[in-house]
Amino acid sequence: MFESYSRKEYQIIGETHAKKIAQANRSDVVLEWQGEEYTVDWNNNSLPSIPEGKARLWCVVAWKLTENHNRELRLAHAEDDRKRALVMDYFTDRLGLSTEEAEATANELPLKAIESLVEMSQANLA
């Protein structure tokens, strides 16, 4: 069960099962009961209400893995944005494009093209 469950963020379970888990004081899961519900998950997605007589069981392992994955994605997006901004600066400062033209051109370029322009942009803007 744990192998398939650890791939999910949460699972709706019956109250009897939830009470057994609560009594076990497990540190690898978090139980959520009606009236003490989270409104959003860690991705700010709205969560459905818990049905009557049920509980929501969160897998801490899946939660941490998802959180780490999302952090890595945010860092990668920030680095991509930094590189595109540098290339856009090159387009405006050295090639004389307007900000709108530079942004449109940079957004049309695939990541590989941006990567190849970053070093040249850094060297020419320094």
Exposure string over 80-97, b if 16+ CB within 10 A, otherwise e: eeebbebbbbbbbeeeeb
Which long-range contacts does 38-47 make (Cβ < 8 Å, 24+ apart)? 41/9, 41/10, 42/66, 42/67, 42/70, 43/70
DSSP-assigned letter for residue 54: E
Q: 54-69: per-residue pLDDT in tens?
A: 888 887 777 777 778 8
Q: Pick the more confident residue, 92 or 41.
A: 92
The closest alpha carbon to 14, from 51, 47, 55, belongs to 55
Average pLDDT, the chain: 82
**What is the mean pLDDT of the segment spanning 46-59?**
84
pLDDT band at 91 (very low <50, low <70, confident <90, very high): very high
State pTM to two decimals.
0.58
Give yes or no for residue 4 having a pLDDT over 60.
no
